[in-house]
Chains A and B, each alone.
Chain A
């Protein structure tokens, strides 16, 4: 195992060693020390509304079941039978009274307690009472979003999130009545690259002009989007792809912040009224009126004036609060990652707004999108490139030396600063060099 001093040598203020992306031993240590300790985003309460509703996911290498218990609380159980270790629940989602192991029929209730064992007389008295589905050490919910940690102690979820709580607040506050639900299907994709590559890309304002050059170019030459009332289906896609071609000055002028726990967030670069304000759009006006009816004009204005693009929750989540998209990344191997992308519906907003969310998801985050696919291609090229022996270092020095410390977060001097990658690496080293 790499000694802590060696790990520290791999992470320097403006560069990191390529081993962070390619060394299987480091990857194994990440699963233990980062994914085995941090609060991880697991999903949203709307995915488990009724007692017994469950879905399966992973916390690092642990397969887990997220389930609504009979007492109304959300449980997170390691999906492994206490007998011989089979997953008791097939991967997927549903509603269950009991989780019954397919191997020998051991069955567990929604809280993970062992309720029935065939041939129980073969065990010494009291022996089975010690056994259960192992629960995640800590489970917490912030404004409807479900988190869990495999570490028995550590920061509270609120402390861990720090200023990124405001991004979740933005996500929820925009929904009239605060009611959000996962809807519209889940995009699932994998890429042949390290998990960190995705988190290092989602706040990178310098990449769209290059990675997304082809989709920006065709969108610029597309027919002009229709005026209010004359809109076409293609408009949302065309508008978003054009926005990725924003001038350098727009990217440079956008705020970008990194927190001590490796999270990051960015102000919004969108200036397209149809995408972010919907001015003149009948559905958006109806939505705005509903917010005003519930909250009053000043509060509705305050909510709609918040401008945030991606927020990253280190180490496993990235979301767009304004566009109601959330991605969860699962590390599979040092060079293999799986990503689930969710869309959210605002229950009390006009139906048309969710149609825009779906159209946006298809073109930006979908597996057949022209935007995401170019990102994935680049992640894979990075992974190939870093497989070479030399040069050994990866540079993360854009804006280095000009970062500004603000309360709760460090701000990049300009919007294209790599301050957020440096923040992720600081958190990485902090998790990795602690023995417990």
Chain B
């Protein structure tokens, strides 16, 4: 798979809500980071929208599948029509 194909693959998994398969793209030492601030230097001294290690990322995926994950109903997907994927 070329890097370009990989990026399309990742986007497709998100667009089609295949979050468990998406999770498998991450290695055990991965970090998923969405900084809170522009040009934020680190995730430890400043808060983040998301700063998940692999353990938390897996919990995040499990949480969104829980029947009482109120804020995930309906479950987001990345693109209009993505569920047709």
Contacts and interface: CB of A to CB of B under 8 A. Distances in A.
A368 B37 contact: no
B83 interface: no
Nearest to B67: A214
Contacts of A377: 70-71, 73
Contacts of A214: 63, 66-70, 72
Interface in A228-274: 232-234, 237-238
A373 B53 contact: no
B9 interface: no
Contacts of A233: 53, 55-56
Interface residues of B, number: 29
Nearest to A355: B44
Contacts of A210: 68
A185 B66 contact: no
B53 to A, nearest CB: 5
Nearest to B56: A234
B47 A343 contact: yes
Contacts of B18: none
Contacts of A213: 66, 68
Contacts of B56: 233-234, 237
Contact of A378 (B36, B47, B59, B70): B70
A interface SS class: helix
A185 B71 contact: no
Contacts of B52: 234
Contacts of A343: 47
Given A187-B47, A374-B71, A232 B59 contact: no
Given A234-B56, A355-B45, A373 B50 contact: no
Contacts of B36: 185, 187, 366
A211 interface: yes
Contact of B45 (A184, A237, A374, A378): A184
B71 A361 contact: no
Contacts of A183: 45
Interface residues of A, number: 37
A215 interface: yes
Interface string B15-44: 000000000000000000010110010011
Most central of A232, A238, A362, A381 by chain B CB within 10 Å: A362
Interface in B57-78: 59-60, 62-63, 66-73
A300 interface: no
Contacts of B45: 183-184, 354-355, 358
B46 interface: yes
A63 B26 CA distance: 46
Interface in A202-226: 210-211, 213-215, 217-219, 221-223
Contacts of B72: 214
Contact of A374 (B48, B60, B67, B69): B69
Contacts of A140: none
Contact of A370 (B43, B48, B53, B63): B63
Contacts of B1: none
Contacts of B67: 214
Most central of B40, B53, B70 by chain A CB within 10 Å: B70
B51 interface: yes
A368 B69 contact: no
Contacts of B49: 366-368
A215 B63 contact: yes
Interface in A349-367: 354-355, 358-359, 361-362, 366-367
Interface of B: 34, 36-37, 40, 43-53, 55-56, 59-60, 62-63, 66-73
Given A362-B51, A377-B70, 13 more contacts: A185-B47, A187-B47, A210-B68, A214-B67, A222-B55, A234-B59, A238-B55, A343-B47, A359-B51, A361-B47, A368-B34, A368-B49, A368-B50
